[in-house]
Amino acid sequence: MDSAPPVALSLVIPVYNEKDAVAETLVRACSVIEQSGISAEIIVVDDGSDDGTGDVLKNFGSSVQIVRHPVNRGYGAAIKTGLRHAQGEWIAITDADGTYPLEKLPELWSLTQDAEMVVGTRPRSAQPMIRRPAKWFLARLSEYVARTRIPDMNSGFRLIRADLLKRYLHMLPDGFSLTTTITLALHSDGFRVQYAPIQYHKRQGRSKIHPVRDPWNFTILILRICLFFNPLRVFAPLFLFFFGLGTGVLVYSKVYTPQVMDVTVTVLYFVSIQMLVLGMLGDVIVRRNRG
């Protein structure tokens, strides 16, 4: 009796209150995989939907694997649950809201020969105007941390080697910032990441991203990842800032005031030295733990 062929790709689709879009998404996903000839499975993680999404998913029980969270736990938590149920050597993720062109999946799959992660890059015009300033800032901060250009930091349409995703599982958050985290982690550790342009369609339903809270959380996350992978990228600029500020105060007080502001200068120099020492200690710890 022949054994079942190994699963090459597990497509994980996190779903939360997408009853109007999820059926079309799953139909497209099944069609694309069947026509591509890729040995693949589809795993849908219903993240505590309460709008009737679960009833829609029952119609796909024979063609996809459905996992349900009893309560909403977050986008990242749903992907991690999908990973734990996946059998594929590669993990693909996409959204259930109809925004990503699933017909591009075979093209992204073909790029996995020369990469550990392949990301579908959305056009800049797909971003709402109100989010572009925050996106620009986060992109520049991410590129500073990773020391490379990142065309799309948090695209939700990508393929990743399953073993790498599991390697970083302990640091992946339960929210929307999972994609940002894995992008920065792989770039920081020198893995090959390929980017392929894709179209981005208008979503059905309302976005789950909060315009203020989530960008702030992304910023904190990026700084945290920088401290985890390369702390000198944070502390070296702080050292230069406080050292330069102390020197500026010293020169100004000598030239323009009757008395040197020695206490202020001493404090600023002391803080700058602390920043440098913290950065160097952090760098030693990071290199030792990852050596």
Task: Give the predicted TM-score (pTM) of the model.
Answer: 0.82
Q: Which one is predicted more confidently, 63 or 183?
A: 183
Cα–Cα nearest to 229, from 146, 143, 168: 146
Where is mean pLDDT largest: 44-53, 212-221, 279-288? 44-53
Q: Is the pLDDT of residue 61 over 80?
A: no
Q: What is the mean pLDDT of residues 228-232?
A: 85
- What's the mean pLDDT in 46-68? 91
Contact 246, 265 (CB under 8 A): yes
Nearest to 158 by CA among 193, 205, 123: 193
Highest-scoring range by mean pLDDT, 126-130, 146-150, 203-207? 146-150
* Number of residues assigned to the chain: 291
The per-residue pLDDT for range 168-220, each reduced to its tens digit, is 998 898 988 899 889 989 998 899 999 999 998 876 555 555 555 666 777 77
Collapsing DSSP to helix, strand or coil, 46 comes out as strand
Q: Which residues contact 156 (CB under 8 A, 6 or more apart)?
A: 93, 94, 95, 99, 100, 179
